[in-house]
Amino acid sequence: MTISIPIQPGRQVIRRGSRRRVRTLPLVAPSVLVLLLWMIVPLAMTLWFSFQYYNLLNPMLSGFAGLENYRFLLTDPALWTAMANTLILVGSVLAITIVAGVLLAVLYDQPFAGRGIARLLVIAPFFVMPTVSALIWKNMLMHPVNGIFAWITRSLGLGVVDWFADVPLLSIILIVAWQWIPFALLILLTAMQSLDNEQKEAARIDGAGPVAMFFHIILPHLGRAIAVVAMIETIFLLSIFAEIFVTTSGGPGLATTNLAYLIYSRALLQFDVGGGSAGGVIAIVLANIVAIFLVRTIARSLDR
Looking only at residues 163 through 222 of this chain, which bind another protein when binding is defined by CB under 8 A? Answer: 163-166, 168, 178, 181-182, 186, 189-191, 193-194, 201, 204
The three-state DSSP-derived secondary structure of the chain is CCCCCCCCHHHHCCCCCCCCCCCCHHHHHHHHHHHHHHHHHHHHHHHHHHCEEEECCCCCCEEECCCHHHHHHHCCHHHHHHHHHHHHHHHHHHHHHHHHHHHHHHHHHCCCCCHHHHHHHHHHHHHCCHHHHHHHHHHHHCCCCCCHHHHHHHHCCCCCCCHHHHCHHHHHHHHHHHHHHHHHHHHHHHHHHCCCHHHHHHHHHCCCCHHHHHHHHHHHHHHHHHHHHHHHHHHHHHCCCHHHHHHCCCCCCCCCCCHHHHHHHHHHHCCEHHHHHHHHHHHHHHHHHHHHHHHHHHHHHHHC
Residue list 69-88, contact with another protein (CB under 8 A):
72, 76-78
Judged by CB under 8 A, the chain residues 105 through 164 that form the site for another protein are: 107-108, 110, 112-115, 117-133, 135-141, 143-146, 148, 150-151, 155, 160, 162-164
The CB-of-233 to another protein minimum distance in angstroms stands at: 11
Question: Which is nearer to another protein, 110 or 211 (by Cβ)?
Answer: 110
| Shortest distance in whole angstroms from residue 217 CB to another protein | 14
Is the Cβ of residue 78 or residue 87 nearer to another protein in the bound state? 78
Shortest Cβ 284–another protein spacing (Å): 6
Q: For the CB of residue 141, give the shortest distance to another protein in the complex, in Å.
A: 6
The residues in 239-268 that bind another protein, with binding defined as CB under 8 A, are: 239, 241-242, 245-255, 257, 259-260, 263-268
Total site size for another protein, rule CB under 8 A: 148
